[in-house]
Structure 1
Amino acid sequence: MRYLIFWASLLLASPVYARTTTFECSLPRYSDRTGGLYQEKGGLNLTFLVDQTARKAYVLGNNGSNEVMLLPNQEGFTLIEVTGTGNVMVTAITFGGVAVHSRHSMVGKNEILPSQYYGRCTAK
């Protein structure tokens, strides 16, 4: 049922001719492998474009856009990006707009740089 509500909300949030919704995410708090929770001035800002007609999603950045996997669930949806180097970025957004973005970055054979950002996303 919530799956249907998700798609219906996307349809109603944008003009009928467009059938796309932009999600602007502001994630000012983060944690890293040291385990602390930090506040970052300006934080991490992400923008996603969801095309409900094609059931595709894109992360929009300074250098263009990249397609990401769109996985709706009962409480919201998850977006998964695999970068050109194979690192994985996961963003989960609830229907209420609460969001978390996780980065799983490998640098070298013996080091992983995990980080997690917390904040909110709004549909435009």
Structure 2
Amino acid sequence: MVVMSLDPKIADRLKRNSDGLVPAIAQQYDTGEVLMLAWMDDEALHRTLTTGRATYWSRSRQEYWVKGESSGHQQWVKEVALDCDADAILVKVDQVGAACHTGDRTCWDADVLEPVVGERPQ
């Protein structure tokens, strides 16, 4: 496998965890719907930026995966941004089908917690 390199201007900014990974949040580009959280290393981010397909690092399988390659539930990249601290990545995508491995549209549908709802002061 040929390892591609991430642009040094981006790589120098990234703040990775001890495994060399950065959390990546996938969001539906046109509705703002939060779809899933996955992980990227430099190579996964480079592939995402250069192929138009969301590519992640699977911590369980220890390999790269292009979202939808086997399921058909692809993510077509529309925009990618780093947060202000460069320790998280936002990938705005056009999601085809389910984003969650459970078959749900998003990974955030199942366990909605019941917080005390705060009110902004007048």
Q: Same fold (TM over 0.5)?
A: no
TM class by shorter chain equals: 0.3 to 0.5
- Higher normalized strand content (fraction of residues): 1
Q: TM-score, normalised by structure 1?
A: 0.38
